[in-house]
Structure 1
Amino acid sequence: MSPDDANAGYRRLFDRDGLTFGAGFPLTGTNRSTPAPGREIDLAKHAEAVGFDGLWARDVPTYWPKFGDAGQTFDTWPWLSHVAAHTDDIALGTSSVVLTLRHPLHVAKSAATVDQLSDGRLVLGVASGDRDPEYPAYDVDHEERGQLFRESVEAMRTVWREEFPELEGQWGALEGDLDVVPKPTTGTIPLLPTGYARQSQEWIADHGDGWLFYHLPERTLQNYLADWREAAGEKPFAIAIRVELADDPTAAPEPLHLGFHAGIEWFQDYFRRLEEYGLDHAIVGIQNDDKEAALSTFADEVIDTL
C-alpha cells in the first residue's frame, strides 16, 4: 500500500519523511480496572492538540491477572468510535486486534464501521495473541494460530474489496449470496501484523502494509530495520515503547519493562537516533503520574524538535 491510495489514518502516520509519534491507551495509565472515560477523552484531545499523530487502543479480550493488565478495558470498536467522535484528524490504531480469537467477518464489519465513522482514520495492528488461557476460553486450538491468522487476513481483505464474494476457511464459508457492509473508505484498511504473528518475515512483508513491533534494543532494532527494508522496501516499521520522563532533564536512562526512565535530553537523542535508523512510527506509553504535563513535554521537546 502506498500513501497515495491509503486511508487518512495511514497517510497521517506515514505520508512524510521522518519519525511520527502516537500515544497508547489507556492514557490515564489505569490498566487493571476501568479507566474514567471522560479523563481518557480529555487526554486524547490533548495529545492531538499538542502534535501526536496517532491514538492506539489495545485489544485484550479477557483479563488475566498473571499477565498484568487488561489494556484500556473497553472493547476496541465502541471505544475507538467514541474517540473518533471526540477528535478531528488524528489517526486511530489498534495495537493489536487478536485475529485468532475473533471471527474475521465480525472484525471486517466492525473495522469498516469505525473507518467510516472516523472518515478513514483507522489503521489496524493485527496479532495472533499471547495469553495462553484465552485459547481454550474461545475454543481455539493454540497450535492453529498461524493458519487462523493467515485465513483471517485473507477473509478481511476479500470482503472489504469484493461484493458477494466466494471464500472458505476454518472460520466458515461465503458462497456468493452474502455481502459484508459497510466497505472501508478506501477499499481496504491498512494492516500491520504485530510481532511475528506466527508468520515469516517474508509473509509479513508480502501481506502486511507495515510491521508493528515491540520495544527492541537499539542494535537489534537496527538489524530488524535493515532486514525489513530488504524484504519490504519502504513499507513502514513501527514500535511501541514505554516512556517515563525524569524530573531532571539531564538524567541518564534506566531501563523499564519495554522502555526507559530518563531525562528529556536523553529521549531527544534517543529518538533522533531511531529516526536516523529509519523507524517510521513510535507508540509512546507515558508512565508519569501527570499525564497531561508529560504529553506536553514530550511533544514540545521531542516531537517538535524532530
Structure 2
Amino acid sequence: MTHTDKRRMEYGIQLPVQSQSTIYAEPWEAGAGPDDLLAVARTADGAGFAYIATCDHVAIPRRLAPAMSTVWYDPVATLAYLAAATERVRLLSHVAVVGLRHPLLTAKQYATLDRLSGGRLILGVGAGHVPEEFEALGVDFRQRGAVLDECLDALTAALGPEEFPEHHGKLYDFEGLGQRPRPAQPRVPLWVGGSSPAAVRRAALKGDGWLPQGDPRDRLPAQIARIRELRQDREGPFTVGAIAEPLYIGQPSWDVGRRTLTGGADQLAASLRAYGEMGVDQLQVRFRSRGRSELTDQMAAFGTEVAPHL
C-alpha cells in the first residue's frame, strides 16, 4: 500500500455538468455547458486537485432517464478537451465501462489521450449496470464481470510499452497489430471501481487502485482490510480511494442537506483526516453549490484552507 501516516492525502473531484444523475447533480447544472466545465477544470488545476474525473454511459434507456438523465459526456472527448486547457491535474475516467468496447479500441483512445496530455491519464474502469446499454452494443450483460476481468488483462498489455501488444483470451485474441502513439507513461494506472466483493477482489488482484462506489465511512475499514489481505503477496504501489460526504466550507445560508459536512476549514479537515487514518490515499471531494461561481469558490477555498491540513 502506498499510504503512510505521514503522507498527505491527495484529493480529486468528479466534474459537474458532464454527468447529471439526479443522485448528485445540482439544479444549476441543467443549464450549464462547456464553458462551465472548463472553468471548474481550470480551478481544479490551480487549486491542487490531483485529478478531475468524468463518467461513462453510451445511451440511457427511457425507463432510467428520469433518474439518471441522458446527459453523459463522452469521457475521452471531454478529458482531451480539458487536457488542452489545464497543465498538471490528472485525468481520470470514473469509471469507463470498458466491457462495452473492444480493448484495442479502448487502448487506442486512451493511449492517445495520455500522449496528448503528457502522461496525465488514470484509467478508472467498472463493470457497468445498465442492461439495455450492453444489449444495444452486442455485449452479454450477465457476463459483464468476466468481460471486465479479461478487459483488464488485455488493457494491461495494450497500454504497456510494446508497439505490438499481445493478448490471448477467451473473448479477445490479438497479436502482431501495432498501435502508436504509445502512452506517455511507462504504465497507465488502472483503478477499478465498485464495492461488491467481486469488484474489491478485482481491484486488489488486477488493478493499481480502488474506487469505491459510495461506501459510507463505517464500511471502508473492512473493505480496505480485505484489499490488504488480497494484496499481501503482490508488489507495487496501490491507491486506495474514497468518496467524501458533500462539503460546504463555512456556514451556509441555504439548505445544503443533512448529510453535508459544513463548518470552518479546521473542522472539516479534522473530519476528513479520519479517511487517511483508515488507509485512504486519495479522497474524492464534492461540494454543494447554487452556481458555477459558488462551486469554484468552494474548490479554491478547499485548496488553500482545508487541504494543507490533510
Interval containing the TM-score (normalised by the shorter chain): 0.7 to 0.9
Offset at residue 151 of structure 1 (A): 1.4
Please list, as runs of the form range in 1=range in 2, the aligned pairs for 1:31-42 lying within 5 A after superposition.
35-42=32-39
Q: Which amino acid aligns with 1:301?
A: E
Bigger Cα displacement from structure 2, 283-292 vs 273-282:
283-292
SS class of match (1:55) = strand
Offset at residue 181 of structure 1 (A): 2.2
Q: Given the superposition, is the C-alpha separation of residues 67 and 108 from structure 1 closer, same or farther in structure 2, using an over 3 Å criterion? A: farther
Please list, as runs of the form range in 1=range in 2, the aligned pairs for 1:1-306 lying within 5 A after superposition.
17-26=7-16, 35-63=32-60, 64-70=64-70, 73-161=72-160, 162-169=162-169, 171-176=171-176, 178-196=177-195, 199=198, 201-232=200-231, 235-245=238-248, 248=251, 255-256=258-259, 260-264=260-264, 266-289=267-290, 290-306=294-310
Bigger Cα displacement from structure 2, 53-62 vs 264-273:
264-273
For normalisation by structure 2, the TM-score amounts to 0.82
The answer to whether the 8 Å contact 2:200/2:223 transfers is no
Q: Distance in 1 between matches of 2:159 and 2:249?
A: 45
Q: Which amino acid aligns with 1:58?
A: C
For normalisation by structure 1, the TM-score amounts to 0.83
Where structure 1 has 5 or more consecutive residues not aligned to the other structure, the ranges are 4-12
Q: Distance in 2 between matches of 1:129 and 1:20?
A: 26
Offset at residue 21 of structure 1 (A): 0.6
Q: Given the superposition, is the C-alpha separation of residues 53 and 149 from structure 1 closer, same or farther in structure 2, using an over 3 Å criterion? A: same
Q: Which amino acid aligns with 2:297?
A: A
Offset at residue 175 of structure 1 (A): 4.2
Cα displacement string for residues 139-170 of structure 1 (whole angstroms, at most 9, x for unaligned residues): 22111111110111111112233333443445
Q: Which amino acid aligns with 1:221?
A: L
Q: Given the superposition, is the C-alpha separation of residues 35 and 242 from structure 1 closer, same or farther in structure 2, using an over 3 Å criterion? A: farther
Q: Given the superposition, is the C-alpha separation of residues 172 and 217 from structure 1 closer, same or farther in structure 2, using an over 3 Å criterion? A: closer
The answer to whether the 8 Å contact 2:224/2:240 transfers is yes
Offset at residue 171 of structure 1 (A): 4.8
Larger strand fraction of residues: 1
Over aligned residue pairs, what C-alpha RMSD do you find? 3.1
SS class of match (1:199) = helix
Structure 1 runs of 4+ with >6 Å offset: none
Q: Given the superposition, is the C-alpha separation of residues 112 and 129 from structure 1 closer, same or farther in structure 2, using an over 3 Å criterion? A: same
Q: Distance in 1 between matches of 2:263 and 2:144?
A: 41
What is the aligned-residue identity percentage? 27
